[in-house]
A and B are shown apart, each in its own frame.
Chain A
């Protein structure tokens, strides 16, 4: 059995799945799309687990610059364990005065939506994907985030 082959590059792929939220934030919300925000997760409980074990690591990843209809977008995400704890837009389209003001609102909205979508969804049900379709799927984005958080820390 091969170990999990997903790496941070997979997370970058996953980011491109999150990125359309940036466009959504700058346009009226589309009907039929709702990503339900759920209450913040309870603080982790270790239940007296030996401290020998690797703790849930915090990983910060900056995604690639992606060209969108409105201009270049780049996002940095921070993951602790399997939770996406924050997403910050590093770069957003910076056009005329109107889009700058939209961007000031879109940045936090993007972060909230990215956290809401990834932090509260554990799996994606959809029409059967092929191996190629999987790479573009939201499940692949979730898997990339989980894989980054579950790779054990090398000890020696």
Chain B
């Protein structure tokens, strides 16, 4: 194969990292295969770096040292500080329903880090020349440009998994420069923790949140899963955030700005 050829079809890469599978789907047609490979390599490295810093399963990760009290906050890497700041902001926005400081076993930003890492991987793809890309980190999606790889503004069509039927979609939303995160108990059981008592809860079948930043969308969907249907109150109050909640009875609840048509896209986040 000649690696200097223009790709025309882009590149698809699937990476096992952070305990899940991450899809990198780059649609740019006018980069060479070598350029695409370099962009993907940078994005993959960003994902593994995030895993090394934030895995609570790795005893030597910065987050594990922080949990043990072996590191003072002023000696933390800048990326860890950045995640801590985002966690604090998300805790406030979710009115405490996303609270990494209230997790059993100590500080645990897992509910935000996967989205943060995927958003960072997308930034690497952009930095290396990819203008039309999608990163899907185990169901949490960040996109840039358009799936058509042309400047037509059509964005990306994101299907939202039906929590009650493995091969079905609840709906499809078209997003431009926006992120989509979903939490639910149907893949790995309930991972939602009630911050009030540290106990696992099952209060929604699924919670999908659209926001400009995938870290925030991830934290909001995690917090909604812990809170239940009443999360709609703070999700509606949050600027630049839209949500679709599926109750345990299968009822659909949406924020007023949730896109109702197949081709509507939400206003860019505030």
Given the known inter-chain contacts A125-B208, A127-B186, A129-B139, please indicate yes or no for A34 contacting B169, CB distance below 8 A.
yes
Once the chains bind, are A38 and B160 in contact (CB under 8 Å)? Answer: no
Partner of A131, one of B2, B16, B163: B16
Once the chains bind, are B16 and A32 in contact (CB under 8 Å)? Answer: no
Secondary structure of the A contact surface, majority rule: loop
Tell me if A40 counts as interface (CB < 8 A to partner B): no
A94 CA to B248 CA, complexed, in Å: 38
**Chain B minimum-CB-distance residue to A152:** B1
Shortest CB-to-CB span from A149 to chain B, Å, is: 6
A154 CA to B22 CA, complexed, in Å: 27
A contact residues around B183 at 8 Å (CB): 127-128
Tell me if B206 counts as interface (CB < 8 A to partner A): yes
A contact residues around B9 at 8 Å (CB): 54, 56, 81-82, 149-150
> How many A-B pairs fall under 8 Å by CB?
201
A140 CA to B134 CA, complexed, in Å: 14
A47 CA to B149 CA, complexed, in Å: 12
B contact residues around A38 at 8 Å (CB): 157, 172, 262-263
B contact residues around A34 at 8 Å (CB): 169-171
Once the chains bind, are A134 and B20 in contact (CB under 8 Å)? Answer: yes
Interface residue count on the A side (C-beta < 8 Å)? 60
Tell me if B8 counts as interface (CB < 8 A to partner A): yes
Shortest CB-to-CB span from A84 to chain B, Å, is: 13
Q: Which residues 40-59 of A sit at the B interface, judged by CB distance below 8 A? A: 41-42, 45-47, 49-50, 52-56
Once the chains bind, are A55 and B8 in contact (CB under 8 Å)? Answer: yes
Once the chains bind, are B160 and A125 in contact (CB under 8 Å)? Answer: yes
Tell me if A17 counts as interface (CB < 8 A to partner B): yes
Once the chains bind, are B1 and A155 in contact (CB under 8 Å)? Answer: yes
B contact residues around A1 at 8 Å (CB): 13, 37, 40-41, 44
A contact residues around B134 at 8 Å (CB): 122-123
Interface residue count on the B side (C-beta < 8 Å)? 71
Q: Which residues 1-29 of A sit at the B interface, judged by CB distance below 8 A? A: 1, 4-6, 17-21
Tell me if B156 counts as interface (CB < 8 A to partner A): yes
A18 CA to B186 CA, complexed, in Å: 19
Partner of A127, one of B44, B150, B161: B161
Once the chains bind, are B139 and A124 in contact (CB under 8 Å)? Answer: yes
Tell me if B60 counts as interface (CB < 8 A to partner A): no
- Which residues does B use to contact A, with CB under 8 Å? 1-2, 5-14, 16, 19-21, 23, 25, 27, 29-30, 33, 37, 40-41, 44, 114, 134, 136, 138-141, 143, 147-148, 150, 152, 156-172, 180-188, 191, 206, 208, 250, 252, 262-263
Known: A20-B165, A126-B182. 7 other contacts (CB 8 A): A5-B14, A30-B165, A34-B170, A123-B143, A127-B185, A136-B166, A143-B23
- Which residues does A use to contact B, with CB under 8 Å? 1, 4-6, 17-21, 30, 32-36, 38, 41-42, 45-47, 49-50, 52-56, 81-82, 117, 120-131, 133-134, 136-140, 143, 146-147, 149-150, 152-156
Those 9 A-B pairs whose CB atoms lie nearest each other, nearest first? A126-B161, A127-B184, A134-B21, A36-B262, A53-B6, A126-B139, A121-B159, A20-B167, A128-B138
